[in-house]
Amino acid sequence: GAGVSQSPRYKVAKRGQDVALRCDPISGHVSLFWYQQALGQGPEFLTYFQNEAQLDKSGLPSDRFFAERPEGSVSTLKIQRTQQEDSAVYLCASSQGLAGRYEQYFGPGTRLTVT
């Protein structure tokens, strides 16, 4: 079937605007992850869902970041009052279960530029 998809692929926001980034995981995958990848860096963990339950949000950098997965499939990462330091590629990944045993499949990412 189809892989992980993300939309939009590119987003330009003015400082202070709110943005919403969407992730469509592979059908049937119970685990969903969000990562933030700054330019020239490796991805950094933001948050993790198992079905609709957000089990780990320790990587969210501030209370301006919020993620949800209300029906256990599509997920949305919302950033309120965007700042320049939020500029990065936001990657979504899904897997059948725990990361070690099951491969994480990544989407193409959303490149967010805050001006």
Partner 1 sequence: AQTVTQSQPEMSVQEAETVTLSCTYDTSESDYYLFWYKQPPSRQMILVIRQEAYKQQNATENRFSVNFQKAAKSFSLKISDSQLGDAAMYFCAYTYTGTASKLTFGTGTRLQVTL
Considering beta carbons, is residue 14 or 39 the nearer one to partner 1?
39
Smallest distance, partner 1 to C-beta of residue 56, A: 6
Q: How many CA atoms lie within 13 A of 64 on its CB side?
A: 14
Q: Is 28 left (phi over 0), alpha (psi -120 to 50) or beta?
A: left
Residues 6+ apart with CB under 8 A from 109: 6, 9, 37, 89, 90, 91, 92
Considering beta carbons, is residue 107 or 114 the nearer one to partner 1?
107
Smallest distance, partner 1 to C-beta of residue 81, A: 26
Chain positions contacting partner 1, by CB under 8 A: 31, 33, 35, 40-45, 48, 55-56, 59, 89, 91, 93, 95, 98-101, 103-104, 106-109
Smallest distance, partner 1 to C-beta of residue 32, A: 10
User: Token pair for residue 107?
Assistant: 């989407």
Smallest distance, partner 1 to C-beta of residue 29, A: 12
